[in-house]
Structure 1
Amino acid sequence: MSTLSARSRVPALAGVSALSLLAAACGAAPEESGNGGSASGDFKPCMVSDSGGFDDRSFNQLSFEGLQKASEDAGLEPITVQSNSPTDYTPNLNNLVDQGCGLIVTVGFALADATKQAAEQNPDVNFAIVDDNSIELDNVKPLTYDMAQSAFLAGYAAASFSTTGVVGTFGGSQFPTVTIFMDGFADGVQYFNEQKNRDVRVIGWDVAAQNGSFTGGFEANEVAKNTAQGLIDQNADVIFPVGGPIYQSAAQAIRDTNRPVALIGADADVYVSDPTVADLVLTSVTKGLATSTEEVVTTAADGSFDNTPYVGTLENEGVGIAPFHDFESRVDPALQGELDAIRAGIVDGSIEVVSPSSPN
C-alpha cells in the first residue's frame, strides 16, 4: 500500500427516544439512586449534556447510551442533567457535585471551562469529558477520537460512489472536533484520486486553507438547509454534514432536489439512529462514544478510575464507518475490499492520515 504524504496545516477543530431519557431539567433533583446490592456501593454515575440535549441522535445521545449501559450492568441508577444553553453548564455541574456524584461525564468540548473549574474545586470527584483534551488534572479523563481516520474511509467511499465528480461537506461551527472530520473526508477523496487517476472535487472545505462552509451552529434550521442546497447546486451528489442535527436539514434539501444525492452521517450510524432519513444514507462516520463512556463509567464504579487520555482510533475500534445498508448493491463491488485494505494501511502506518485537529 502506498503512503499518503503528510501535509503541514494551520490548526482549526442506536437511537433512543426522548421518552427513555433520564435527563432532568437544570437544577432539578432526581430520585434517590437504587444500587440494587451492587458491589459499587453508593457510587453515583452522572452526566451533563451540552445544549444539544440527550435526544440529538448524535454525540449526546450516544454518550448517554454508554452511561446507561454501564449503570445497568453495575446495578446503578445514573443521574443525568440536560443543558438547555451554555449558561446551564456550571449550575448543572454544581448540582451534580452537591448530589454526591462519584463520576461526572461532561459531553462536549463546550463544557471544558466549566468542567475544569468544577474539577479544580472538587478534587475528590472524578470527571470525564467527551471531545476535549485540554484539561490536565488528576481527576479528569479526556475522551477523544481521531475522526480523520474514519472520515478518510468515508471520503474514499464518497469519491468512488459519485457520478458527478463532485462531493461536498459542511460543518456546524469551525471547531477542531468538526474540522477533523472534514480534513479526513477531503484527504480520503484525494487518496481515491491518486489511486484511481480520477479528479473528484471536494467543495465546502479547503484543507490547505483550513476554511469552508459552516452554518454557525448545530441546529437543524433554514441556514443548514440552504448550505446543503448550495452544495447540491454545485453538482455535489454526496453530502457530508458535520455537526449533530444539521444532517436533518441536509436531508430536507436532498428530498427537495430533483436528482439523486446521498447523505453521509456523522457520530452515529444515522441509518439506525434516524430511520426517517435511512433511505438517503450512504454510510456514516462513527465515533465510539457509547463504548468509551461505558468503559470510563465501569472503571470508575470499580474504583479503578485513571486520568489516562482515551483516544479512539481505527485500531481500537473507537472510530469507524457504518455499513452501506441500502446502498450496498449500488456501490462498486470492489469498494469494501479497498476500504478494508486502506483501514489496514492506516492501522499499520503505511497510509498516513494527519489532521491538525487529531488528538495526541
Structure 2
Amino acid sequence: MGQHLEDIVKITSRKAALGGFASLGVVTLLAGCGSAPTDDSTKSAASDFLPCMVSDAGGFDDRSFNQLSFEGMKAAAKELGVETKEAESSVETDFPSNLTSLVDADCDLITSVGYNLSAATVESATANPEVHYAIVDDLADNNFDGTTDADNIKPIIFDTVGAAFLAGYAAADTTKTGIVGTFGGMSIPSVTIFMDGFQQGVNYYNTEKGAEVKVLGWDYTTQEGSFTGGFEANEKAKSLAQGLLDQDVDVIMPVGGPIYQSAAEAIIDSKKDIALIGVDADLFVSDPTYKDMYLTSVLKGLSKGVEETVLSAEKGNFSTDPYVGTLENDGVGIAPFHNWEDKVSKTLQAELDDVKAGLIDGSITATSVSSPKQ
C-alpha cells in the first residue's frame, strides 16, 4: 500500500484463537475526567429498581457503541417508569472509580460498555457479589477459559459473522473494480469477526456467480490483516483507507467505531464514487454527515440486548447466561441501502434475503474463531 501505510500498525489476531469474544471499545477524541454518576429521571418511578451504566472512553454521545447501549437502558427505564444513573468515562483509568460510584449509589444492575471495561468490571463484581452486572460485547473472560470470571456478570454479546457475511456479499455485488477492502481498529475478536464474515460473504458471492472479487486488508485463513492500533478517527486511519483506495478498492468496511470518519475523509479527497460500509449502528441514521457514501451497515442490536437485560433483571429474572444476538433472533443484521437503493442491482435485496435464510437454517455456513460459544 506504499508510503500511505508507514505509520499503520499491522498485527495479527492474537486473541481470536482463544475463542474469547471482546468488544471494540469505541474511543473518540474527548477531553476531561470521568464523571460522577448522574440521575436521569424518566417519569415517576413505578418501582425502586435502579439500572446504571458505565461508558467506555468514548462517552455516551459517540454515535455508535456507547450511545446505542445507553439508549437501550433508557428505553427500558422509560417502559418501567424508573430512574437511571450513569457514569461517563473519558480515559481508562476512570473505569474503577466510575464502577465504585455506581455501587455506592445502590444500583441494582450495572452495565459496562465494552471490552476495555472487562477487567475493571470483573474486579468490581467480585468485590460486590450482591450486585448484578452486565457487560456489552465481552464475555468478561480475562483468563480465556471460556467462562465468565465472576458469578454475577451477564455478557451481552453478538455473533456478527453472519451479518458481516451479508455485507460482504453486497460489497461483491456492488464493486465495479472487482476489489473491496476492510481494515480494523484493533486486532480483537469483536473486530476480526466482522472481517471474517465480510471475506466469507465475498467468497460465497464468487462461488455463486463465478466472479473473482478480491478482498484486501484481511485474510480469514491466516487471521492477519491491517489495523490502525486504536479506535480513533485520525490520520493513521485515513492513511490506511487511502492506501486501499490507491489499490482500486471501491467498497470499504472500516471496523472500529469512528475510524469510518477517517475513511470517509479519504473518500472525499479521492473524488471517487466509493461505497462505505458501517458497523454497529446504521450510520445513515446515527451520522448522516456522509450519508451518500453508506452502502449499508452491519448492525449489532446493542440497544435491544441491553433493554432486554434491564427488563428481565427488574422482573427478578436476572441470569448470567449470555444474551447472544444472532441473525435468527434479529440481534444482528444489515441496514437498508438508503441512498444506494437505486445504485445496487435490482436483484440484490432478494438474493440477500435468500442468503440470510440459508445462514439461519444452516444450508450456508459462516464461521469465525471469534464467534461466541452458544
When normalised by structure 1's length, the TM-score is: 0.91
Amino acid in structure 1 at the alignment position of 2:327: L
Correspondence for 1:30: 38
Q: Which residue in 1 is equivalent to 2:372?
A: 359
- Is contact 2:161–2:371 with CA below 8 Å preserved after alignment? yes
Partner residue in 1 for 2:90? 84
Q: Distance in 2 between matches of 1:314 and 1:211?
A: 26
Letter aligned with residue 66 of structure 1: G
The answer as to whether partners of 2:159 and 2:372 remain within 8 angstroms in 1 is: yes
Matched ranges for 1:7-86 at <5 A: 10=17, 26-31=34-39, 36-38=44-46, 41-86=47-92
Tell me how far 1:26 sits from its aligned partner: 2.4
Matched residue SS, 2:291: helix
Match of 2:363 in 1: 350
1:209 is aligned to 222
Matched to 1:335, the amino acid is L
1:229 to 223, 226, 242: 242
Aligned match for 1:161, one of 171, 174, 181: 174
Given the alignment of the two structures, is residue 118 of structure 1 paired with residue 124 of structure 2, yes or no? yes
1:296 corresponds to which of 309, 312, 320 = 309
CA–CA distance in structure 1, aligned partners of residues 261 and 35 of structure 2 = 30
Partners of 1:299 and 1:72 in 2: CA distance: 14
The alignment's TM-score, normalised by the length of structure 2, stands at 0.88
2:202 aligned with 1:194, yes or no? Answer: no
Aligned CA distance change for structure 1 residues 347 and 79 (closer, same or farther; 3 Å) = same
Task: Answer whether contact 2:292 2:339 (CA < 8 A) is retained.
Answer: yes
CA contact 2:42–2:77 (8 Å) conserved in 1: no
Aligned to 1:176: 189
Distance in 1 (CA, whole Å) between partners of 2:91 and 2:40 is 26
Secondary structure of 1:167 counterpart: strand
* Equivalent residue number for residue 106 of structure 1: 112
Aligned to 2:273: 260
Identity of aligned residues (%): 56
Distance in 2 separating the partners of 1:164 and 1:98: 57
1:330-349 equivalences under 5 Å are 330-349=343-362
Give the superposition deviation at 1:118.
0.7
Q: Is the counterpart of residue 316 in structure 1 residue 329 in structure 2?
A: yes
Aligned-residue offset at 1:37:
4.0
Q: Which amino acid aligns with 1:26?
A: G
Superposed, which structure 2 residues align to 1:122-141 within 5 Å? 122-133=128-139, 134=141, 135-141=148-154
RMSD across aligned positions (CA): 1.6
Contact 2:77-2:84 within 8 A present in 1 as well: yes
Deviations 1:273-312 (A, max 9, x none): 0010111000000000000100111111222111111111
The residue aligned with 1:18 is none
Q: Matched residue of 1:266: which SS? A: strand
Aligned residues of 1:10 and 1:209 also touching (Cα < 8 A): no
Q: Who is 1:280 aligned against?
A: 293
Q: Residues 112-168 of structure 1: CA distance to partner in whole angstroms, max 9, x if unpaired?
A: 111111111111110010111122433111111011110000000000000000000
When residues 29 and 324 of structure 1 are mapped into structure 2, their CA distance, relative to the original with a 3 A threshold, is closer
1:192 positional shift: 0.4
Q: How many corresponding residue pairs?
A: 340
1:324: Cα distance to partner?
0.4
Aligned to 2:318: 305
Over residues 232-287 of structure 1, what are the superposed CA-to-partner deviations in whole Å (9 max), with x where a residue is unaligned? 00100000000000001111001111321110000000011001011100000000
**Structure 2 residues not aligned, in runs of 5+:** 1-15, 22-31, 142-147
For residues 365 and 38 of structure 2, the distance between their equivalents in structure 1, rounded to whole angstroms, comes to 47
CA–CA distance in 2 between the matches of 1:61 and 1:163?
Answer: 35
Please state how far the C-alpha of 1:29 moved relative to its aligned partner: 4.3
The structural deviation recorded for 1:32 is 8.2
